[in-house]
Structure 1
Amino acid sequence: MTYEAPPRIGDLLRTAAAHAAPLIGATTDDSLGAPTPCAEYDVRALLNHLFSVVVNFQALAAKEPADFAETPDRLAEAGWRERFSVETGKLVAAWSAPGADEGIVGAMGLPARTVGSMVLLDLTVHVWDLARATGRGFAPDPAVVAGLVEEVEGMAPMARKMNVFGEGVDLPEGATVFERLLAATGRDPRAWAV
């Protein structure tokens, strides 16, 4: 039996970023106040959060400290859509660097692959949040979803204790792998169907 290494985080992030860019780039200013499936955020706050995650996780890839204390309003700056694409490009490069997904990262001392999976999850689930909030469809790449399933199952109990995930949602038979992933984070994909 041969061992097949999991896909590298940088490769999965490249794919996730390519799926996210068109949705973020086409988000209109008049939708920024819309509610999202992530109850504490409207579209503007969600995008600012995602921006902050993308920037800070560049530092974490390099085993440097990140500062999540403040979330600046990057959407107040002209050209924020293009800037988001630039920052996700930097994120992909940072997590594609040799050794980025190895070792221990951050103040919590988590495995680098787990930390990389966190930003991959945000870049997938929050883009789904954005799509649903703005009445658009979103289907992430199956390889990205497959790369997240095991990590999300492992981090879910602690994420719920820290109020990062809501309580899991029960889904009917026939739910897709992505719907189950969303449900594990506390989202009800059926309630936000387009």
Structure 2
Amino acid sequence: MSDKISTLLEVAADRAVTVIRALTDDQLTAPTPCSEYDVHALADHLFQVVVNFQALAAKKDADFGAAPEHLTGEWRDRFADETLRLIKAWDAPGAEEGTSGRMGLPARTVGAMVLGDLTVHGWDLARATGQPYEPDAALVAMLGEEFAALAPTARSMGVFGEPVPVAEDASPFDVLLAATGRDPHWTRP
């Protein structure tokens, strides 16, 4: 598989869209492994991420401070549509080059951030609602490298929690989840 952000996004988005489409309204108040969010808030956050990272791919600023309510009407279909726009935005010439907006981070790092959100929050939502979730191995390997570099800054900003200990023989995805502060063995209460 190519390590191009848009190619990796196709895989990550496919899995996230599958999880989002399977969410039922009665599950929206369920807790998630991402402790500050219930299913509704996390799905809304992920929707906001997908929209804002389209702007970042185009080297524009994004507003993460405003938290509009995305989960209205046919929001599951709109989420799928927005992920297609996200992939297209990151497939545009130059999307992976230079820096992205006010963040001032390398564009490829920003691309890894949205890949991480789709992958990790996809797992959060799947785990919270009893859905299966198996991320792509190449994607997990790429995120492992990127997140190792991002982790100290992400922790200082409160984006990642403190790392969770895992066994020496833990899978690469369990190691990735633990690095973000998640218990890879979290189960629904």
Secondary structure, counterpart of 1:173 in structure 2:
coil
Letter in 1 for 2:138: A
Deviation of 1:173 after TM superposition, in Å, equals 2.3
The match for 1:44 is: 40
- Is the aligned partner of 1:24 residue 2:20? yes
2:5 is aligned, of 5, 9, 18, to: 9
The alignment-based identity, stated in percent, is 60
Partner of residue 149, structure 2? 154
Q: 1:104 aligns with which of 95, 99, 118?
A: 99
d(CA) in 2 for partners of 1:160 and 1:22? 29
Q: Deviation at 1:192?
A: 3.0
Given the alignment of the two structures, is residue 64 of structure 1 paired with residue 64 of structure 2, yes or no? no
Provide the rounded CA distance (Å) in 2 between the counterparts of 1:173 and 1:147.
Answer: 20
Q: 1:66, 1:145 → 2: CA distance? A: 26
Distance in 1 of aligned mates of 2:5 and 2:143: 10
Within 5 Å, which residues of 2 pair with 1:34-183?
Answer: 34-75=30-71, 77-183=72-178
Distance 2:113 2:44 in 1: 17
* Structure 1 vs Structure 2 CA RMSD: 1.3
Query: How far apart in 2 are the matches of 1:53 and 1:144?
Result: 18
State the distance in 1 between where 2:67 and 2:44 align.
7
Question: Offset of 1:174 from its aligned partner?
Answer: 1.4
The 1-side partners of 2:85 and 2:95 are apart by 13
Runs (5+) with no aligned partner, structure 1 = 1-5
The amino acid of 1:136's aligned partner reads Q
Separation of aligned partners in 2, 1:19 and 1:143 = 14
- Rounded to whole Å, the distance in 2 between the matches of 1:180 and 1:36 is 18
Alignment gaps of 5+ in structure 2:
none
Amino acid at match of 1:27: L
Distance 1:171 1:150 in 2: 17
Q: State the 4+ residue runs in structure 1 displaced beyond 6 angstroms.
A: none
How much does 1:152 deviate?
0.2
Counterpart CA distance in 1 for 2:99 and 2:63 is: 17
| Deviations 1:98-136, CA, capped at 9 Å, x for gaps | 110111112131000000000000000000000111012
The alpha carbon displacement at 1:19 in A equals 1.3
Task: Give SS of 1:74's match.
Answer: coil
Q: CA deviation at 1:144?
A: 1.1
Query: Residues 118-175 of structure 1: CA distance to partner in whole angstroms, max 9, x if unpaired?
Result: 0000000000000111012211111111121110000000000000000001101210
